[in-house]
Chain A
Amino acid sequence: MTKTMSIAGTTLELVERGNGRPLLFLHAGEGLGPERPWLELLSQKYRVIAPWHPGYGNSPLIDGSGSVDDLAYLYLDLAADLTLENAVLVGACFGGWVAAEMMVRSTAGFSHLVLVDPLGIKVSGREKRDIADMHAVPRAEYLTLAWADPARGDIDFTRLSENDLAGIVRGREAFALYGWKPYMHNPRLRRWLHRIDRPTLLLWGAEDRIVTPAYGEGWRQAIPGARLEIIPQAGHFPHWERPEAFVERLSVFVDNSG
């Protein structure tokens, strides 16, 4: 079910589906596809709450602009408004960056953090990119970086409705707005990841070439007690490419920790 909420003076569109422990899912830079399998699979175990980031879908930008900081505060406000308790916070790719920014501010309301191939931190030196420049490669090459099986990520845009295309275009703009410079990370974030005092699982696609498992190791070292698990035959979007394995790993972790 799609619904609209007013949070902190801005309008947020979100999907809410299923019952049980609340799970806030923050989507990847590519956007939220509610018809795709992972939300349905998650909703068989959890009460899934999945907002479109401001600028994506029908969620307007915050004051016509906005930053990752804004998103972190917005979702902390959302969690407070929904009086979430013992909730699982899940963020994929760009959503993982936002989730980490939330957790270094406050972990109240959340019991676990699951980051799926997150962007957001700087690990290597100034002349080495941790995060592939997704905006400097043709789409075909992007797909080979982001997917274990590039054919599965290909979308025939010519078959989509005007409304869906508008959502995609707006999402691309929003992604650039939030992450253009510094490119898809906050240079100061890693410094504060030690504040995350919740059991944390890093799920990583073995064949992710946007951010590699070695970058995941950088995350693991920065979050106390974090666990890094590699999902084979998956790229940058394991929740999309291997939804069953993604939900299985996530639920085993939630059931057995914290």
Chain B
Amino acid sequence: MRVWYFSEMAYHPAWEEGLKRGSLRVVLPNANYDPKVGHGLLNRYLDEFALCDEVGLDIMVNEHHSTSTCLTISVPMALAIIARETKRSRLLSLGTPIANRPDPVRVAEEMAWLDVLSGGRLEMGLVKGAPYEIAPANSNPANLMRRYWEAHDLILKAMSTTNGPFNWEGEFFHYRNVNIWPRPYQQPTPPVWMTGLSVETGRMAAEHGHVVGTLLSLSAAGPMFEAYRKRAQELGWTAGPDRFAYAAVVGVGATREEGLRRANLAADYVRTSPIVAEPFTNPPGYNSLAANIAMLKAGGKRGGFVRDRHGNPVEQTTASIEQLIESGTCFAGTPDDVYDQIKALSDSVGGFGHLLMFGQGGFLDHKDTVANITLFAKEVLPRLRELNAEPQKAAGAAAD
């Protein structure tokens, strides 16, 4: 298993105000952001990413917009800095919300540039993005996935074409001379990742042989990974653990109490993340017909995706650390506890080869974050490297 550390680079000083107003995203005015405090935080978070390289962790960066939960507004910008500050870590962009980007060729250029800069250390997530990202981007939610797939195809073609320029006149994107410089270091493209929560995403990712990632809930991971494996089998190849990624909050300590304390602080990410003004949580077309019918039948209530082992919904905003361990949202405790929890969850969903580690969140301070990263790398990572590490048949060859 590979482990990818990430932090959303939260601006937690504004959370109290956001909670008071009922939205940490979209409509919380940026008067609640102090750029001087932000200056310190951004630099601190980048230092924490740089530390991962020294201790042997890989690195993941994501992005959100118009929110106090995540100050990374551009994955390539953050990764450009991290690429220069690191030597060994692989760098996962997870990712660019390509259906919200007006210019897919620009995305291809930026990713190729990062891949060259880092000497081929880039892994490239092309993601749908969360529902509340629709408003800041003002992208049309009703044809989001049609746009996603056109952008996906165009980006991969732009990155892998060496005898351009080529022409592209699609439903959404129009170019007459696509010929990106630089082209990527890894040929034909860096490894591609997708994210989601649904069986359909699992199936579609299998059709392309991409890595698929899901987060925070074992109840979503199992069926999605199973759908992937089944589709891969139908297409004549076997999907190994290296095709699957799982994201969870991780808190480790010398004692169980210390690990739980760290995880509990970092888990405020999970508790605050869904707090967003209601109209932005379900733009038309974003969720499936069936999900929307179920929501209307339930009187407009949205069911969260975090569920416990018995399939019962867990109220994310108020969940205790114990509940979040039970739902597979957090791994916490001593190094032994954390290893055992990760292994048990991985075994229960058929084995995943990538752990996306929320190793920092909100009020977990620098000292604790450094201790969390360092102890994890020293005591847990070596054991995880042995887990689900058998060499897998390359999926790309079968899928392309």
Contacts and interface: CB of A to CB of B under 8 A. Distances in A.
Interface string A129-173: 000000111110000000000000000011010100110111011
A145 B362 CA distance: 38
Interface stretch (A3-11, A103-111, A174-182): A174-182
Given A135-B283, A136-B280, A158 B297 contact: yes
A65 interface: yes
Contacts of A125: none
Contacts of B293: 162, 165-166, 169
A258 interface: no
Contacts of B138: 180-181
A173 B293 CA distance: 13
Interface stretch (B49-57, B141-149, B209-217, B220-228): B141-149
Given A65-B171, A176-B141, A135 B279 contact: yes
A169 B292 contact: yes
Nearest to B297: A158
Contacts, number: 61
Contacts of B139: 181
A22 B67 CA distance: 53
A158 B300 CA distance: 9
Q: Which of B139, B146, B292, B299 has the most CB of A within 10 A?
A: B292
B135 A136 contact: yes
A177 B284 CA distance: 9
Interface in B56-86: none
Given A158-B296, A158-B299, A166-B293, A136 B279 contact: yes
A138 B298 CA distance: 16
A5 B279 CA distance: 36
A177 B144 CA distance: 10
A168 B289 CA distance: 10
Interface string A176-192: 11001100000000000
A174 B142 contact: yes
Contacts of A169: 289, 292-293, 296
A172 to B, nearest CB: 4
In this complex, the interface size class of chain B, counting residues with CB under 8 Å from chain A, is: 20 to 34
A199 to B, nearest CB: 35
Interface string B255-296: 000000000000000000000001110011100010011001
B161 to A, nearest CB: 27
B14 to A, nearest CB: 21
A158 B289 CA distance: 16
B289 A157 contact: no
B284 A135 contact: yes
Nearest to A172: B284
Interface residues of A, number: 24
The winner among A158, A165, A174, A180 for most chain B CB atoms within 10 A is: A180
Give the most central of A139, A168, A173: most B CB within 10 Å. Answer: A173
B201 to A, nearest CB: 19
B297 A173 contact: no
A177 B279 contact: no
A176 B282 CA distance: 12
B300 A157 contact: yes
B323 interface: no
A162 B279 CA distance: 23
A160 B296 CA distance: 9
A65 B298 CA distance: 29
Given A157-B299, A162-B293, A138 B146 contact: no
B341 interface: no
Given A157-B296, A176-B285, A137 B279 contact: yes
Contacts of A137: 279
B283 A176 contact: yes
A64 to B, nearest CB: 7
A229 B296 CA distance: 36
Nearest to A163: B293
B267 to A, nearest CB: 28
A157 B143 CA distance: 25
B281 to A, nearest CB: 10
Nearest to A180: B140
Contact of A176 (B279, B284, B296): B284
Nearest to A64: B146
Interface in A17-63: none
A205 B139 CA distance: 31
A212 B296 CA distance: 29
Contacts of A165: 292-293, 296-297
Given A65-B143, A165-B293, A180-B141, A173 B285 contact: yes
26 contacts: A65-B146, A65-B171, A135-B279, A135-B284, A136-B135, A137-B279, A139-B300, A157-B296, A157-B300, A158-B296, A158-B298, A160-B296, A162-B293, A165-B292, A165-B293, A165-B297, A168-B296, A169-B293, A169-B296, A173-B284, A176-B140, A176-B141, A176-B142, A177-B140, A180-B138, A180-B141
Given A157-B297, A172-B284, A181-B138, 12 more contacts: A65-B171, A135-B284, A136-B135, A136-B280, A137-B279, A157-B296, A169-B293, A173-B285, A176-B285, A177-B140, A180-B141, A181-B140
Interface of B: 135, 138-143, 146, 171, 278-280, 283-285, 289, 292-293, 296-300
Interface of A: 64-65, 135-139, 157-158, 160, 162, 165-166, 168-170, 172-177, 180-181
